[in-house]
Amino acid sequence: MPFISNTGKLDTHLCAFLDMIAWSEGTSKNVHPLTKMDGYDVIVTGVSGPEIFTNFSSHPFAGRRPPKHVTGSLFSSASGRYQFLEVHWNYYKEKLKLNDFGPRSQDLWALQLIRERRALTDIKELRIQEAISRCSNIWASFPGVGYGQPEHSMGQLIAVFESALNTLKSSAHHTKSDNFN
């Protein structure tokens, strides 16, 4: 469940979409074997296996750590629940005035990327296939991206979204809000 949803300021549909991204990227607690924070602490899995981090003061690769060998000639700095690349960290840190790489910052960053792809309305109006398509070039696990990493089908993602939405709707602490337009 997105950290920011605990504030009651995030639309249930957006929470389910963020949960779907975490599942797709392999970071959610239901998927990742080491996470202690529902994916917010995950570093991309590579040839050396799964890994987590505990220092949220900055992106885990911001301290000049070399990208992690994923497979073949693919190296990555993807980190956090939504697998953000270090190369974009300084830009979004400044743009969104993020104090750290903690859960709240990761949620705000993911929402900003969704906003930039003009997918917020699609999500709120349950046009999930359209939202996934609009965001497909951001997350390597989305269908049709072609980044050379495993991709999930549109059907799988929609099923995960619907499951997350049903779980969230049954939870009493979520409220609808338009604070992220």
Q: Indicate the domain borders of the chain.
A: 3-169
The residues facing 3 across adjacent strands are none
Predicted structure pTM score? 0.90
> Which residues form the catalytic set?
25
Which regions of 2-67 does DSSP assign to beta strands (E)? 42-46, 49-52
In the CATH scheme, what architecture does the domain 3-169 have? Answer: Orthogonal Bundle (1.10)
For residue 153, count other CB atoms closer than 10 A to its CB.
Answer: 11
- Residue appearing with tokens 């979004």: 92
- What's the one-letter identity of residue 54? T
In whole angstroms, give the CA distance from residue 58 to residue 73.
Answer: 26
Q: CB 99: neighbour CB atoms within 10 A? A: 11
Per-residue pLDDT of the chain (181 residues; tens, 9 = 90+): 677 665 555 789 999 999 999 999 999 998 999 999 999 999 998 888 899 999 999 999 998 899 999 888 889 999 999 999 999 999 999 999 999 999 999 999 999 999 999 999 999 999 999 999 999 999 989 998 777 778 899 999 999 999 999 998 887 444 444 445 5
